[in-house]
């Protein structure tokens, strides 16, 4: 009887053990890793799934399961999954979304997990976007400069100087050009600023703007100085003084401006580099467009970016295997495949040298020439930034760009209200 009872208990324990694998199963000696990807464009989804398939074919003992996520809901979805113990092993996100997860202990410190090849291939300026405190909590792998997409025929007829990465427009020159291109119900530029904060802060680096200042005690405060005002004043004056920027697009997303751009209503639209795919696919036959660098300021073509990242969940029991998959996914040739699929730039030095990224077609060469000027976005390591952006900065910039408030009121709200928000995260 005792022998039968002992055997029954052992069987029961084994059955229970087999039911507790959660999202990180190991079946019959085979590990299954869940990889949540935010790829959404058809080409990028295809490239990512192909790489997962290639990994699985070469690693029968470590299977990667592709899970589709969404940029629209990723922050809240990840927070829920972390707190519920159901986070994916490998997490696709953006560097400006990582700070709270990193400081909250949800992401693994990658310093001892990544290969020397990967660590040395990605420049230090990119690694700074995923460094929080003493740890590194994501691998930055794709980045997207903001560029000017222009109606080439319109600019040529107007006889304006064509800017290049070697000789870009200054912000004052850009304002004058848009005035010259405007008139008769047509505008020199359409600013799609439905989400105005990241665009404003990232472009302001070219003028020397920083906005967030970290003191000796490590605490961050907002100071909206003269350099921070260059880009907002340009946009405001184009829309409200010069009438060279369409006022109706200020509350629009990038895709919303494309019909008017194709229809000859706007000469230029500042957009993320990846929008070229939509333009190439949707532009009417015979429509000539070109990619121009964003204007330069006191700090040249410097521009803030928040690269796409790959992180590993702290709760994953298979961190080494997850890191090996990340290393495979980001081999130079594979990184190029991901970049081409997303119409973005890779962070890796070797990948950036690929000839496919240096062609004049669709503006690839112009974008690649900007890679050396990309810097961590000003808000990268600021705790409380999402709340500051949503509750303070977004409505303040929207009201300023629409002409509802002036520059003094914008500064007052960014600094006074903004510092009250950030102070709660830094006690």
Q: Does 273 share its domain with 175?
A: yes
> Among residues 360, 376, 392, which one ends one of the domains?
376
Q: Does 173 share its domain with 286?
A: yes
**Measured between alpha carbons, how far is 423 from 393 in angstroms, rounded to an integer?**
15
Return per-residue pLDDT of the chain as tens, 427 residues: 444 444 444 444 443 344 434 445 555 579 999 999 999 988 999 999 999 999 999 999 999 999 999 998 999 999 999 999 999 999 999 998 998 899 999 999 999 999 999 999 999 999 999 999 899 999 999 999 999 999 999 999 999 999 999 999 999 999 999 999 999 999 999 999 999 999 999 999 999 999 999 988 889 999 999 999 999 999 999 999 999 999 999 999 999 999 999 999 999 999 999 999 999 999 999 999 999 999 999 999 999 999 999 999 999 999 999 999 999 999 999 999 999 999 999 999 999 999 999 999 999 999 999 999 999 988 877 888 889 999 999 999 999 999 999 999 999 999 999 999 999 988 7
* Of 227, 189, 220, 172, residue with least CA distance to 205: 227
In the chain, % helix, strand, coil (3-state, to 5) comes to 50, 20, 30
pLDDT at 25: 56
pLDDT at 106: 97
* Of 124, 70, 118, residue with least CA distance to 97: 70
| Residue 118 and residue 133 in contact, taking contact as beta carbons nearer than 8 Å | no
Q: Does 231 share its domain with 273?
A: yes
| Residue 181 and residue 148 in contact, taking contact as beta carbons nearer than 8 Å | no
Q: How far is CA 372 from CA 87, 136, 362, 376, in A?
A: 34, 22, 20, 12
Written as six digits, the tokens of 167 are 């000789």
* Of 415, 353, 421, 419, residue with least CA distance to 391: 421
Q: Does 139 share its domain with 152?
A: no
Give the full edge-to-edge strand order of the sheet including 187-189.
187-189, 266-272, 146-151, 289-293
- Determine if residue 211 is left, alpha or beta; phi over 0 gives left, psi from -120 to 50 gives alpha, anything else beta: left
Three-state DSSP class for residue 7: helix
Phi, psi angle pair for 139, to nearest 5°: -105, 115
Is 261 part of a structural domain of the chain?
yes
Is 45 part of a structural domain of the chain?
yes
Q: Does 255 share its domain with 401?
A: yes
Q: Does 403 share its domain with 263?
A: yes
Q: Does 289 share its domain with 357?
A: no
Is 299 part of a structural domain of the chain?
no
| Domain around 97 | 21-143+306-376
**Measured between alpha carbons, how far is 200 from 232 in angstroms, rounded to an integer?**
7
* Of 255, 291, 297, residue with least CA distance to 367: 291
Q: Does 127 share its domain with 201?
A: no
Q: How far is CA 269 from CA 43, 146, 254, in A?
A: 24, 10, 8
The alpha carbon dihedral of 168, 172, 174, 177 has a sign of: negative
| Residue 235 and residue 241 in contact, taking contact as beta carbons nearer than 8 Å | no
Q: Does 53 share its domain with 182?
A: no
Contacts of 124-130 with C-beta under 8 Å, sequence gap 24+, read 125/374, 125/375, 125/376, 126/307, 126/347, 126/376, 128/376, 128/380, 129/95, 129/96, 129/305, 129/306, 129/307, 129/309, 129/376, 129/377, 129/380, 130/95, 130/98, 130/307, 130/309, 130/311
**Measured between alpha carbons, how far is 77 from 81 in angstroms, rounded to an integer?**
6
Is 340 part of a structural domain of the chain?
yes
Q: Does 159 share its domain with 288?
A: yes
Instruction: Please give the full DSSP string across 68-109, using - where no structure is assigned.
Output: E--TTTHHHHHHHHHHTT---SEEEEEGGG-HHHHHTT-B--
Q: Domain of 196: which CATH number?
A: 3.40.190.10
Is 249 part of a structural domain of the chain?
yes
**Measured between alpha carbons, how far is 268 from 177 in angstroms, rounded to an integer?**
10
pLDDT at 28: 59
User: How many domains, the chain?
Assistant: 2
Written as six digits, the tokens of 424 are 């709660």
By CB atoms closer than 10 A (0-12, 13-18, 19+), residue 271 is buried
Q: Does 169 share its domain with 42?
A: no
* Of 237, 229, 271, residue with least CA distance to 254: 271
**Measured between alpha carbons, how far is 408 from 286 in angstroms, rounded to an integer?**
46
Q: How far is CA 106 from CA 218, 308, 315, in A?
A: 22, 18, 7
Is 16 part of a structural domain of the chain?
no
Q: Does 175 share its domain with 275?
A: yes
Is 14 part of a structural domain of the chain?
no
Is 7 part of a structural domain of the chain?
no
**Measured between alpha carbons, how far is 93 from 70 in angstroms, rounded to an integer?**
10
């Amino acid at each position: 009887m005792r022998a039968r009872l002992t055997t029954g208990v052992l069987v029961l324990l084994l059955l229970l053990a087999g039911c507790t694998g959660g999202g990180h199963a190991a079946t019959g000696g085979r590990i299954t890793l869940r990889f949540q990807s935010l790829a959404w464009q058809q080409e990028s989804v295809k490239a990512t799934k192909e790489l997962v398939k290639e990994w699985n074919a070469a690693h029968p003992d470590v299977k990667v399961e592709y899970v589709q996520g969404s940029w629209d809901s990723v922050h809240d979805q990840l927070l829920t999954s972390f707190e519920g113990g159901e986070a994916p092993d490998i997490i696709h996100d953006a560097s400006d979304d990582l700070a709270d997860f990193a400081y909250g202990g949800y992401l693994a410190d990658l310093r001892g997990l990544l290969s020397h090849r990967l660590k040395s291939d990605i420049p230090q300026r990119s690694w700074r976007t995923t460094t929080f405190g003493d740890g590194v909590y994501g691998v930055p792998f794709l980045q997207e400069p903001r560029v000017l997409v222009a109606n080439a025929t319109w600019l040529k007829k107007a006889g304006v100087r064509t800017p290049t990465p070697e000789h870009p427009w200054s912000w004052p020159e850009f304002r004058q050009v848009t005035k010259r291109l405007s008139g008769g119900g047509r505008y020199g530029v359409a600013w799609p600023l439905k989400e105005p904060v990241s665009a404003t802060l990232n472009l302001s680096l070219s003028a020397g703007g920083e906005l967030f200042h970290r003191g000796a005690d490590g605490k961050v405060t907002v100071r909206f100085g003269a350099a921070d005002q260059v880009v907002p004043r340009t946009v405001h004056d184009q829309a409200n003084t010069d009438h060279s920027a369409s006022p109706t697009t200020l509350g629009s997303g990038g895709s919303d401006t494309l019909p008017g751009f194709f229809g000859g209503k706007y000469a230029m639209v500042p957009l993320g580099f990846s929008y070229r795919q939509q333009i190439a696919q949707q532009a009417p036959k015979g429509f000539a467009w070109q990619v121009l660098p964003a204007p330069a300021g006191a700090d040249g073509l410097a521009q803030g970016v928040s690269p796409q990242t790959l992180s590993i969940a702290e709760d994953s029991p298979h961190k080494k295997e997850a890191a090996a998959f990340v290393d495979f996914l980001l081999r130079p040739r594979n990184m190029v495949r991901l970049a081409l699929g997303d119409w973005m730039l890779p962070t890796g030095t070797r990948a950036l040298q690929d000839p496919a990224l240096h062609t004049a077609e669709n503006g690839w060469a112009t974008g690649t020439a900007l890679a050396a000027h990309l810097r961590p976005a000003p808000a990268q390591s600021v705790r409380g930034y999402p709340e500051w952006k949503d509750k303070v900065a977004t409505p303040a910039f929207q009201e300023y760009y629409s002409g509802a408030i002036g520059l003094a009121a914008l500064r007052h709200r960014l600094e006074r209200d903004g510092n009250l928000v950030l102070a709660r995260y830094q006690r």
